[in-house]
Structure 1
Amino acid sequence: MLKLTYTESSLYLECLTLSLEEWVAQRVILALRVGQSLCIEPSIASFLLPADLPGLEVLKAEVKRDDIEIITLCACDPEYIEVTLRGSWLLDSSTAVVGVFFTTMSEHSEFFLHKLWQEAQESSASVISE
């Protein structure tokens, strides 16, 4: 399962070993115990990857080969590829703007996408530090 957490200044992508059902059940139990309401709704989430990232062509081929409808790749400009995922948002309420996005696809695809995202973070951190 992939979990995306958006903050005001960044995005954090995690690859979790829990199944979607286990993770949602844990969140529901936590919400019940602390008296928090929850709203889960189908949605999409997007983030950018550098267009020159090694391995991106492999991801494109995998998406095309598997005809995965969960993930869409689109060149948004010469420097970046937009990755759009279909999944669900877990929110504190139906009017909340802060939440966690989650989706599931094949373990291989999840792992590979997470690896590419990590590489993009590392390369952007090295550019910032230079």
Structure 2
Amino acid sequence: MLKLTYTETGLHMERVMAPLEVAIAQRVVLAMRLGQHLHIEPGRASFLLPATAPSLKQLEQILRVDQTQAVMVTPVDQEFVEATVYGSWIAETTDAEEGVFVTVVSDMAEFLLLRLWEAQTQVSFLA
């Protein structure tokens, strides 16, 4: 499972080995124990990836083989593509800008998405 955490300082992505249902259930229990409101809804998240990264072609091949519609890769310009993933948004309110987005795709697609995102963040820090 991929977990995208949106905060006021940006996006953080990580792979989580727990099943989606378990991760969401744990978050619900935590919110209940802390007396927090919690909103969970299906949705999509998008982020930029480097268009020239060698593993981008490999990701596109994996997505074709998997025949998944949980991930779409769309060209933005010569430097970037936009990856859109479908999953569940978890936040305190319906209009929150901070929260967690979780999605499940194949292990290889998760690995490549994370690797591509990490490569993009390293490029951002160097620029």
Determine if the TM-score, normalized by the shorter chain, exceeds 0.5: yes
Q: Which residue identity is paired with 2:24?
A: V
Q: List alignment gaps of at least 5 residues for structure 1.
A: none
Matches within 5 A, 1:1-130: 1-125=1-125, 127-128=126-127
Return the alpha-carbon distance in structure 1 between the equivalents of residues 95 and 118 of structure 2: 31
Q: Which residue identity is paired with 1:94?
A: T
Greater shift in the superposed pair: 61-70 or 114-123: 114-123
- How many aligned positions are there? 127
Return the alpha-carbon distance in structure 2 between the equivalents of residues 78 and 112 of structure 1: 20
Distance 1:22 1:61, change over 3 A: same
TM-score relative to the length of structure 2: 0.91
Superposition deviation, residue 9 in structure 1: 4.1
Superposition deviation, residue 116 in structure 1: 1.7
Q: Over aligned residues, Cα RMSD in angstroms?
A: 1.4
TM-score relative to the length of structure 1: 0.90
SS at match of 2:43: strand
Runs of 4+ in 1 over 6 A off after TM superposition: none
**Per-residue Cα deviation, 1:23-75 (whole angstroms, up to 9, x for no partner):** 11110111110101111001110000111112111111111222110000000
Q: Which residue identity is paired with 2:90?
A: L
SS at match of 1:77: coil
Q: List alignment gaps of at least 5 residues for structure 2.
A: none
Identity %: 43
